[in-house]
Structure 1
Amino acid sequence: MVHAFTGTYGINYGRIADNIPSPESVVTLLKAAKIKNVRIYDANHEVLTAFKGSGIEIVVGLGNEFLKDMSVNEASAMDWVKENVQPFLPGTRIRGIAVGNEVLGSTDPDLWEALLGAVKNVYNALNRLGLTKDVEVSSPHSQGVFASSFPPSACVFKESILPYMKPLLEFFSQIDSPFYINAYPFLAYISDPEHIDLKYALFESNPGIYDAKTNLHYNNMFDAQIDAAYAALEKAGFAKTEVIVSETGWASKGDPNEVGATPKNARAYNYNLRKRLAKKKGDPL
């Protein structure tokens, strides 16, 4: 099985901001912090060149704007891989391609239709170039693909996206790719701050929740969200599929209605998440 990451955690390297450091400076910072895994949201050549020889493993992104063309045009997928992946290997350790982001959680049925075809064409391009042993194909999902996620054992995929999700999961099971989920306790918290304990969302001491069906106790929402994904996968017939968190975090600033978006809470979430991962203990399920 090809693994996108070999470490416990990594970072998402976004570049839509002001006064951000150069890619070379980012590589230096990551190496100093012993971060071994990075996801970027495109395949920027300056970034990929900067990571050459760093030993840091990268997942590159194929944006949603490319999916419709890629789904019906094998040549476009091949051209993209030849231009954005193949030339940088093996010096830059590209270990995965995220085809689209949160597509099935969006409100664009045309993108839903295009996703599987794009995934297959990108994979086939890698296969023809002999790169599938080194580069994994995936597609990260949002929590929006679930009809419900509380308690975790009750989680199911939305009926509307099942006709698209099941064939995608079937293909990923054939090529040994995991289920990537963008897990944000922050978004769940701001949707219902009156009933969700902030400490539960921040990995801080709290009573937690109890799932009566599984007899499992959860003392943080992050673990609950991951187990909810496993429950939905099992109900869809993919109990053996691995779940990997492709994004998480906490907002340090937000709109007036986004309760809890503060630097203090963001710092607490990230710090406590690292403590949680350092234990190398699985989620309750």
Structure 2
Amino acid sequence: MISLIMSNSSFFKFLLFFLLTISASFVQIQGLCFGINYGQIANNLPSPSRVAILIKSMNVTRIKLYDADPNVLHAFSKSNVEFVIGLGNEDLQNMTDPSKAQTWIQNHVLPYLSQTKINCITIGNEVFNTNDTQLMLNLLPSMQNVYNALVNLGLDQEISVTTPHSFNILSNSYPPSLGSFRQDLMQYIQPLVEFISQINSSFFINAYPFFAYKDNPSEVNLNYVLFEPNQGLVDPNTNLHYDNMLYAQIDAVYAAIKLLGYFNIEVRISETGWPSKGDTNEFGATIQNAKLYNGNLLRRIEEKQGTPGKPLVPIDVYVFALFNEDLKPGPTSERNYGLYYPDGSPVYNIGLQGYLPQMVIPSKSNVLSFNFLVCIVTYLILLGSF
């Protein structure tokens, strides 16, 4: 039997990894407090079932989707991964109808909860960056209706509701202590922040120091945005020292929320990252810089660091993104934020050591090997390892 297994090296590697993956279910391994955005605007991505093995091998336990893809939620059933799922901007008009919001929860959330962990629903994405007045008006009612639907089903303590914002909603971000929201958006942001406070949710912000460097490379210190050693900056109002831009951006959002009179809302980074490739005018978009940014960020997450303004609150981050997505519109950088290429090879190594299994179809020469695998899996199932 062993000789038959060894006769096909690729099958043996798959078999060995699969068995190790299953056997790991006997051991409780603490995953990284490290979230990843799993975007799918591409035509060459691996199947969700293969991605599930990749994520498990990376020891990552949090994924943020931009929809509620049933194929992904099924693929991660009985896993230790917690999901943020999303409603797109195109869905907000429907969500202003309470009955449609209730139906959406019943169709896109309830069927998966017994097997897949879902802890947050994002309503829209960067709505205030669209210049669509109707969309902005629809955002808060949509959030309220989705939340009320969760309340009706007794899920409001299990699943939170929020919306991710572009960092452009701030009119001022430096010094961090003087962070403030744009006045032209205040009529929308004020009641939204009040609602988030009422339901004990979080404020999601998409923050990219890359954009600040790209737009002004002669004045923005590259080491400051990459978490590399630098002199940093001191907020003259608080005397707090900042050695990187992301932390300053987070504290600027806290200051803007505080200016509205709210002190109990946690700021979470729903997107941040660095492109490994860009157009000629996208300064800093290189593999080396992407590796430094995400690698240094990962180390700070592992250290459970807080910002200077919130030192006791570890930063909460979803890195963008899992894969390069070849169908994303816009500049070259938009298609090159991934930690991995679609074939599962890393764009650069930051220590996550992921493994994406190849598709394997058992041949006649290894049917016995495959049957052996089935027997072992069946035995593990009977032992209650799943």
| TM-score category, normalised to shorter length | over 0.9
Aligned positions of 1:100-179 closer than 5 A: 100-179=124-203
Aligned to 1:11: 36
Q: For residues 48-75 of structure 1, what are the alpha-carbon distances to aligned partners after superposition, in whole Å with 9 as ceiling and x for unaligned?
A: 100110120000010001112212x111
Tell me, yes or no, if the aligned pair for 1:189 and 1:196 is still in contact at 8 Å: yes
Identity %: 48
Q: For residues 103-133 of structure 1, what are the alpha-carbon distances to aligned partners after superposition, in whole Å with 9 as ceiling and x for unaligned?
A: 1233211111110000001111111111112
Please give the secondary structure, in 2, of the residue aligned with 1:36: strand
Residue 231 of structure 1 pairs with residue 268 of structure 2: no
Q: Which amino acid in structure 1 is aligned with residue 93 of structure 2? A: K
Work out which of the two has the higher radius of gyration on C-alpha atoms and give 1 or 2.
2
How far off its partner does 1:7 sit?
A: 5.9
How far off its partner does 1:239 sit?
A: 2.0
How far off its partner does 1:191 sit?
A: 1.9
User: Which is bigger in relative contact order (C-alpha 8 A, separation at least 6)?
Assistant: 2
Aligned length: 279
* Aligned with residue 269 of structure 1, among 290, 293, 297: 293
Any gaps of 5 or more consecutive residues in structure 2?
1-30, 310-386
Q: For residues 217-273 of structure 1, what are the alpha-carbon distances to aligned partners after superposition, in whole Å with 9 as ceiling and x for unaligned?
A: 100011111111111111111122111111110011222221111111111111010
Q: Which amino acid in structure 2 is aligned with residue 37 of structure 1? A: R
Aligned to 1:40: 65
Tell me, yes or no, if the aligned pair for 1:149 and 1:156 is still in contact at 8 Å: yes
Sort the Cα spacing of 1:133 and 1:102 in 2 relative to 1 into closer, same or farther, 3 A: same
Root-mean-square deviation (CA, aligned residues, Å) is: 1.2
Please give the secondary structure, in 2, of the residue aligned with 1:8: strand
Aligned positions of 1:22-101 closer than 5 A: 22-71=47-96, 73-101=97-125
d(CA) in 2 for partners of 1:18, 1:271: 28
Query: Runs ≥4 in structure 1, deviation > 6 angstroms?
Result: none
Residue 217 of structure 1 pairs with residue 274 of structure 2: no
* Aligned with residue 45 of structure 2, among 11, 16, 20: 20
TM-score (norm 2): 0.71
Tell me, yes or no, if the aligned pair for 2:233 and 2:243 is still in contact at 8 Å: yes
Q: Which amino acid in structure 2 is aligned with residue 39 of structure 1? A: K
Any gaps of 5 or more consecutive residues in structure 1?
1-5
d(CA) in 1 for partners of 2:182, 2:87: 25
d(CA) in 2 for partners of 1:188, 1:10: 23
